[in-house]
Amino acid sequence: DFMVSEEDSKPYVLEINAVPGLKRYSLMPKAAELAGIVYEDMIEDILYAALDNNAE
C-alpha cells in the first residue's frame, strides 16, 4: 500500500503485503480471471501447489 503526498506528489510506501488477498473481490482473483482462470480453479491450484511443496 502507498500514499501520495499532497505537498510534493511523491509516493510513499506504507506497507508491503507478502500474501495476496484471496477474497473474490481482491486483486489476485481479478488478475486470475483476466488470465482466464476461474476463482475455484485458482484456489485449487494454490492448495495443490502447497501440498506438493510440503510433500518433499
* pLDDT of amino acid 56: 59
* pLDDT of amino acid 2: 86
* pLDDT of amino acid 19: 74
Q: Quick one: how far is CA 38 from the chain centroid?
A: 15
Report the domain count for the chain.
Answer: 1
Q: What is the pLDDT along the chain (56 residues), one digit of tens a residue?
A: 889 999 999 999 988 776 778 898 999 999 999 999 999 999 999 999 988 877 65
List the domain range (segments joined by +) for residue 48.
19-56
Residue 7 lies in a domain: no
* pLDDT of amino acid 21: 85
Residue 30 lies in a domain: yes
Q: Which long-range contacts (CB under 8 A, 24 or more apart) does 14-17 make?
A: none
Residue 13 lies in a domain: no
Backbone phi, psi, residue 34, to 5°: -65, -25
User: What's the pTM value of the predicted model, to 2 decimals?
Assistant: 0.60
E strands present in the chain: 2-4, 11-13
Beta bridge partners of residue 3, listed in sequence order: 12
